[in-house]
Chains A and B, each alone.
Chain A
Amino acid sequence: MSERQRYIKQGLLTVLPLFVPVIPFALAFGIAVDVAGIAPLLGWSSTPLMFGGAAQITLLTLLGEGASMAAAVTAALIVGARHLLYSVTMAPYFRHQPRWFRWVGPYVLIDQVFMLASTFEARHDPDAFRWFYLSAGFMFWFLWMLFTGIGLFIGPIVPDAWQLSFAIPILFIGLLAAGINSWQQVAVAVVAAGVTVALASLPNRSGLLIGATLGIALGFLFERFRR
């Protein structure tokens, strides 16, 4: 197997266990579209056009509740604003890359792809990075297309008592714990988490952004005064 095939295969396979916890989220998406009274195909069109779970659910739920287009769009964009941070973090890896990849790559830069790409062991090799990134990103994309479609039919009939949606925080705490290698990173995660809880009542989940920003500021201080 060539090196290229090996990295592509690695990208495709790494995504599978990460997608399992996303299945309940696809069902939740189906429920949200159903509750909002939006036609299934119209609701599903947000999957290829936005490709972002929480932002899709936020937008469609608010529109269904009768919010104005401006308010719903703003809220969904604030929910997705953490992607600005991913964009800055990923920029150095796009430096020695062909132009087309700089245009295609951002389309699939979701939470999980960001975590996989920023901890991928061969990320400093531009070719390996590109193959791994694209195969993982578009595998996730394909599965999300498929399962949000299925979710439109199944979502409304799954019993609430299973609390399947708890798989999502488990997924993210797993990504967090697997990516940490220093006590400073632990401190940053704890501060970001604490601030987010303290500011949880702010509208549009903006506490998340403030918490994350303060955490990164603490990380900057750690690096600035490192001996």
Chain B
Amino acid sequence: MTVFIAILITGAGTYLMRGGFIFLLAERQFPPLALRTLTYVAPAVMGALVMSMLTTPEGSIQIGVPEFAGLAVAAILAAKTRNHSVTLAGGLLVFWLCLWLI
């Protein structure tokens, strides 16, 4: 029962975080500076998210040659092709190849 209540509360909180500003701000006109600043949300959050995935909860970074090579190849492929299948296949192949060689 505790688990289910915890799921319900977190689910409601998650929904409110996703919807809060949409409910509050959808009727308002945004100033241009605010709109231009919002174009930085995606790169900032994604950059932070990737690094957060590569660190342990204790704070040590888990990135060796295979990880670095895989991510670098994925970033280049994504920027050049904008195709997510190619990006994933290329990044994972390089990652596994390095794991196997080293």
**A contact residues vs B (CB 8 Å cutoff):** 17-18, 20-21, 38, 42-43, 45-46, 49-52, 55, 59-60, 63, 69, 72-73, 76-77, 80-92, 94-95, 97, 102-103, 105-107, 109, 111, 114-115, 118-119, 163, 166-180, 184-186, 188-197, 200-202, 205, 207-209, 211-216, 218-220, 222-224
A118 near B74 with CB under 8 A, answer no
Query: How would residues 48 to 84 of chain B score, 1 for a CB under 8 Å from any chain A CB and 0 otherwise?
Result: 1111111111111100000100110011111100111
A73 near B43 with CB under 8 A, answer no
- B77 vs chain A, min Cβ distance (A): 7
Interface residue from B5, B46, B60 paired with A172 (Cβ < 8 Å): B46
What are 21 sample pairs from A and B whose C-beta atoms fall under 8 A apart?
A46-B11, A49-B11, A50-B7, A69-B6, A77-B10, A89-B42, A91-B24, A92-B35, A106-B19, A111-B45, A166-B92, A169-B71, A173-B75, A174-B74, A174-B87, A176-B43, A178-B82, A193-B48, A194-B51, A215-B45, A216-B44
B88 near A88 with CB under 8 A, answer no
The answer to whether A91 and B21 touch (CB under 8 A), given A82-B49, A193-B47, A215-B44, is yes
Interface residue from B6, B45, B52, B92 paired with A85 (Cβ < 8 Å): B45
Interface residue from B6, B54, B59, B88 paired with A59 (Cβ < 8 Å): B6
Within 8 A of A (CB), among B1-24: 2-11, 13-15, 17-24
- Please report the C-alpha to C-alpha distance between residue A119 and residue B11 in the assembled complex, in whole angstroms: 27
Interface residue from A97, A197, A219 paired with B44 (Cβ < 8 Å): A219
B9 near A73 with CB under 8 A, answer yes
Interface residue from A45, A52, A111 paired with B49 (Cβ < 8 Å): A111
Query: Binding site of A, secondary structure by majority: helix, strand, loop or mixed?
Result: helix
Interface residue from A106, A115, A215 paired with B48 (Cβ < 8 Å): A215
Count of B residues near A, CB < 8 Å? 73
B7 — nearest CB in chain A belongs to which residue?
A: A46
**B contact residues vs A (CB 8 Å cutoff):** 2-11, 13-15, 17-28, 30, 33, 35-61, 67, 70-71, 74-79, 82-85, 87-88, 91-92, 95, 99
What are the residues of chain A within 8 A of B44 when measuring CB–CB? 188-189, 191-192, 211-216, 219
What are the residues of chain B within 8 A of A205 when measuring CB–CB? 52, 57
What are the residues of chain B within 8 A of A224 when measuring CB–CB? 33
Query: Binding site of B, secondary structure by majority: helix, strand, loop or mixed?
Result: helix
- Please report the C-alpha to C-alpha distance between residue A95 and residue B28 in the assembled complex, in whole angstroms: 7
- Please report the C-alpha to C-alpha distance between residue A166 and residue B96 in the assembled complex, in whole angstroms: 10
Interface residue from B20, B53, B56, B71 paired with A84 (Cβ < 8 Å): B20
B82 — nearest CB in chain A belongs to which residue?
A: A178
What are the residues of chain B within 8 A of A69 when measuring CB–CB? 2, 5-6, 9
- A30 vs chain B, min Cβ distance (A): 16
A84 near B21 with CB under 8 A, answer yes
What are the residues of chain A within 8 A of B47 when measuring CB–CB? 176, 188-193, 196, 211-212, 215
